[in-house]
Structure 1
Amino acid sequence: MGASGWNYFTAYQPDAQAALDELRRQVFEAGDYWWAVPGGFGSSAADFPDRPRSEEELWADERVQESGTHSILDMTWVLADGEEPDFGTLAPVTEAEALARAGVARPTRAHVQALAPLAEQRWFGRYAVLHDDAGAPSELYFWGFSGD
């Protein structure tokens, strides 16, 4: 199947891990992910009434362990400053990266396209604090590629 790109906007909160945890909960509950079932290509888990009812049940399936969900569910941890990227982690966009890619230290939604190339590795994502026109944090933007 190959990797899939995904992206999500959430309301800003200073605790990016808490934002990720809430986003994962919402995506799982909505069934807005790919579930590795035979013949399930091109559909989401929401299309299957018998889909797993807990993340524990979802990840117990060997097919899911091998193929992932092609969604934010494949990401589990927000890295702290200085931590090295690893499988299933999300790294923050630094001010230097935002300046280099978007030409601003406080990116907005208008800069998302410029930031997109920062997530190049499969099974590793990025997140950026997006700002409103006054320069105040307004959203978190999560994006990356996952799934096989």
Structure 2
Amino acid sequence: MTTRLEPGDTAPDFDLPTADGGNLGLASLKGRKVILYAYPSAMTPGCTTQACDFRDSLASLKSEGYEVVGISPDKPEKLAKFAERDALTFPLVSDTDKSVLTAYGAFGEKKNYGRIVQGVIRSTFVIDEAGKITLAQYNVRAKGHVAKLRRDLKLAD
């Protein structure tokens, strides 16, 4: 059984390669509120819907003090194509060995078309300025997720 994070837990640290050829670590975001969302695969319909939803909401999320970071097991090269194709202007990090996804409880058993499979569990984590989890959502829907997240965080529309 995959361990799931709860509010109050310390967010697992990471330092991962990004779509733009750099690296991004959680430590470098300390002092800022972070929305880390885990998605199964770049350039698939659901993941594109979700990424574009975050892209379209980025200015309002940033105005509320949130940084957005997407994480998937895709290689940086695929993430770069995804970011370019869909004009994604927030960092996408690559977790090819799935160790960070596993630490967040976002990789493990899930149902896919009625079958139990191992894979990325579409999840969103809100991390406060001190690196603590304030919200952990698992099995989120790709469509409409950002609007629901805004409601859950009590942010203005």
TM-score, normalised on structure 2?
Answer: 0.30
**Would you tell me which structure has more helix in proportion to its own residues?**
1
**Would you tell me which structure has more strand in proportion to its own residues?**
2
TM-score, normalised on structure 1?
Answer: 0.31
